[in-house]
């Protein structure tokens, strides 16, 4: 039994379907966590497959590839640190949203998501089977509760874990961005902590996936409801957290508290990340922007600027005989954004049509 744990929280940006690339990124974080002296590293919900995997998990070959990646990663844990990582997992005839616990060079145990969301953007019940109410995982004499995302949105899973001896709650998530969602999550976690008396680490992924954007903003709250860690929004990050067992249970030593953007700033950052990942994860060679001199064009050209310098081309149309300022404004915007521009003249008749 230990009275001290170092837990790494890997707030990463996986790509749906890119099992090999996700595994490689996991190993980079794993190497950094090992160098920092971590005992355990936690990855987000369904990290290996990317989230949400949708119909990909209905392909047996894809689920098998995810399992193979987990078995490969497990070999790295022979000398530590241990790993908690999200993966789609078939058990008999049932397909589960699972977290695998990798330790001592093997898959030691799994936990399955109990509450499956089926509202809004979620349709988990269509592809996954609900698991039983989770029990704790014993690691170095510490009983770790690992509810998965939706499992903390109701009382049952966390209460079950507390009643069966859990000492720390480690929660992997794939929680999409909404305005003021960070406040909603904070209130939710405080409610679970109040009910169980246990500290809770909330780990979320970042990244864009089609119409969804994940903002990260992972955090840790101690049993006394004090904020011990706040990770940034819309950025990959690895947090090394130190935990100590005292007379009142486990407590994380206070660490970095990142400033979170609000209102228009967080919406802007969500749009930029969503656009960037949509282009890059779909392997588009570049983008074409149709620009005028208006505010909408200025917004579009500015939004792509923070992304890496992929090929971008702007097109502007003006009528024959129109003044040069019809071209000068979009040209100026493109110059500031580092975007090539092409000018297309149309006849008055074509423009009118």
56 within a domain of the structure (yes/no): yes
166 within a domain of the structure (yes/no): yes
Could you give the CA distance from residue 25 to residue 236 in angstroms, rounded to a whole number?
Answer: 11
- Do 334 and 211 lie in a common domain? no
- Mean pLDDT, range 55-79, rounded to an integer: 97
Could you give the CA distance from residue 131 to residue 296 in angstroms, rounded to a whole number?
Answer: 47
The confidence score (pLDDT) of residue 158 equals: 98
- Do 181 and 293 lie in a common domain? no
- Mean pLDDT, range 211-229, rounded to an integer: 98
Could you give the CA distance from residue 90 to residue 60 in angstroms, rounded to a whole number?
Answer: 9
The confidence score (pLDDT) of residue 353 equals: 47
Q: What is the per-residue burial (b if ≥16 Cβ within 10 Å, else e) of 115-151?
A: bbeeeeeeebeebbbebebbbbbebeebebbbbbbbb
**Per annotation, catalytic residue among 25, 66, 149, 266:** 149
Q: What is the CATH number of the domain that holds 299?
A: 3.40.50.620
Number of Cβ atoms within 10 Å of the Cβ of 346: 14
The stretches of the chain forming alpha helices (DSSP H) are 19-35, 60-75, 156-163, 181-196, 263-281, 295-303, 325-337, 348-352
The confidence score (pLDDT) of residue 352 equals: 46
275 within a domain of the structure (yes/no): no
Last residue of a domain, one of 246, 261, 276: 261
Could you list the beta-strand ranges (E) of the chain: 4-11, 40-42, 82-91, 94-103, 106-112, 137-139, 142-145, 168-173, 200-204, 206-209, 212-215, 219-221, 227-230, 237-246, 249-252, 286-290, 311-319, 340-346
The confidence score (pLDDT) of residue 62 equals: 98
- When the pLDDT of each residue in the chain is averaged and rounded to a whole number, the result is 90
More confident residue, 325 or 259: 259
pLDDT band, residue 351 (cuts 50/70/90): very low
280 within a domain of the structure (yes/no): no
273 within a domain of the structure (yes/no): no
Chain segment 73-113, per-residue pLDDT in tens: 999 999 999 999 999 999 999 999 999 999 999 999 999 99
Told to judge if 45 belongs to the known catalytic residues of this protein, a careful annotator would answer: yes
- Do 119 and 202 lie in a common domain? yes
268 within a domain of the structure (yes/no): no
**Per annotation, catalytic residue among 25, 45, 66, 318:** 45
The confidence score (pLDDT) of residue 269 equals: 95
The confidence score (pLDDT) of residue 284 equals: 86
Could you give the CA distance from residue 111 to residue 210 in angstroms, rounded to a whole number?
Answer: 28
The confidence score (pLDDT) of residue 300 equals: 72
Last residue of a domain, one of 206, 229, 261: 261
Chain segment 105-161, per-residue pLDDT in tens: 999 999 999 999 999 999 999 999 999 999 999 999 999 999 999 999 999 999 999
- Do 155 and 213 lie in a common domain? yes
- Residue 165 half-sphere exposure toward CB, CA atoms < 13 A: 8
More confident residue, 241 or 351: 241
Tell me 236's DSSP state: -
Chain segment 295-314, per-residue pLDDT in tens: 776 777 777 655 555 555 55
Burial of 242 (C-beta count, 10 Å sphere; 0-12/13-18/19+): middle
From the list 257, 276, 288, the residue with the least C-alpha distance to 213 is: 276
25 within a domain of the structure (yes/no): yes
Q: What is the CATH number of the domain that holds 145?
A: 3.60.110.10
- Do 300 and 239 lie in a common domain? no
- Do 188 and 315 lie in a common domain? no
267 within a domain of the structure (yes/no): no
Chain segment 30-47, per-residue pLDDT in tens: 999 999 999 999 999 999
Percent of the chain at pLDDT > 90 equals 78
Is the Cβ–Cβ distance between 145 and 166 less than 8 Å? yes
**Which tokens go with 140?**
């170095």
- Do 173 and 60 lie in a common domain? yes
For residue 157, what are the β-bridge partners? none
Is the Cβ–Cβ distance between 144 and 136 less than 8 Å? yes
**Which tokens go with 77?**
């844990």
- Do 116 and 166 lie in a common domain? yes
Is the Cβ–Cβ distance between 314 and 301 less than 8 Å? yes
- Do 210 and 320 lie in a common domain? no
**Per annotation, catalytic residue among 25, 113, 276, 281:** 113
- Mean pLDDT, range 184-191, rounded to an integer: 97
Judged against a pLDDT cut of 90, whether residue 318 lies above it is answered with: no
- Do 14 and 123 lie in a common domain? yes
Judged against a pLDDT cut of 60, whether residue 329 lies above it is answered with: no
Judged against a pLDDT cut of 80, whether residue 335 lies above it is answered with: no
- Whether this prediction's pTM lies above 0.95 is answered by no
- Do 255 and 289 lie in a common domain? no
Could you give the CA distance from residue 169 to residue 158 in angstroms, rounded to a whole number?
Answer: 8
Count of domains in the chain? 2
Could you give the CA distance from residue 211 to residue 173 in angstroms, rounded to a whole number?
Answer: 18
Strands of 249-252's sheet in order across: 106-112, 94-103, 82-91, 40-42, 4-11, 237-246, 249-252
- Do 196 and 318 lie in a common domain? no
From the list 31, 36, 166, the residue with the least C-alpha distance to 111 is: 166
**Rounded to 5°, angle at Cα 274 from 270 and 280:** 145
Number of Cβ atoms within 10 Å of the Cβ of 64: 11
Q: Which domain holds residue 348?
A: 285-352
């Amino acid at each position: 039994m230990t009275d001290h744990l170092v837990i790494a929280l890997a707030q990463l940006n996986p790509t749906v379907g890119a099992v090999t690339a996700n595994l490689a990124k996991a190993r980079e974080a794993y190497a950094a966590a090992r160098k920092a002296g971590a005992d355990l590293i936690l990855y987000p919900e369904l990290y290996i497959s990317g989230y949400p995997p949708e119909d990909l998990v209905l392909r047996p070959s894809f689920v098998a590839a995810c399992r193979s990646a987990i078995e490969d990663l497990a070999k790295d844990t022979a000398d530590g640190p241990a790993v908690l990582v999200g993966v789609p997992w078939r058990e008999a005839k049932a397909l589960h949203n699972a977290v695998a616990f990798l330790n001592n060079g093997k898959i030691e145990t799994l936990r399955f998501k109990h509450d499956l969301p089926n509202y809004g953007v979620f349709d988990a019940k269509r592809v996954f089977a609900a698991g039983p109410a989770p029990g704790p995982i014993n690691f170095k004499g510490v009983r770790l509760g690992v509810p998965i995302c939706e499992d903390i949105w109701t009382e049952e899973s966390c209460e079950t874990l507390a009643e069966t001896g859990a000492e720390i709650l480690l929660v992997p998530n794939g929680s999409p961005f909404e305005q003021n969602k960070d406040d909603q999550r904070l209130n939710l976690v405080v409610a679970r902590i109040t009910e169980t008396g246990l500290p809770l680490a909330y780990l979320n992924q970042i990244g864009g996936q089609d119409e969804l954007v994940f903002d990260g903003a992972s955090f840790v709250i101690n049993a006394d409801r004090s904020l011990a860690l706040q990770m940034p929004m819309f950025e990959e990050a690895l947090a090394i957290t130190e935990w100590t067992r005292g007379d009142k249970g486990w407590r994380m030593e206070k660490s970095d508290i990142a400033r979170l953007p609000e209102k228009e700033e967080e919406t802007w950052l969500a749009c930029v990340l969503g656009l960037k990942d949509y282009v890059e994860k779909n392997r588009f060679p570049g983008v074409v922007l149709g620009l005028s001199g208006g505010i909408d064009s200025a917004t579009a050209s500015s939004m792509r600027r923070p992304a890496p310098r992929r090929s971008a081309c702007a097109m502007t149309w003006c009528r024959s005989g129109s003044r040069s300022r019809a071209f000068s404004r979009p040209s100026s915007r493109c110059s500031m954004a580092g975007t090539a521009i092409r000018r297309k003249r149309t006849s008055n008749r074509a423009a009118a049509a």
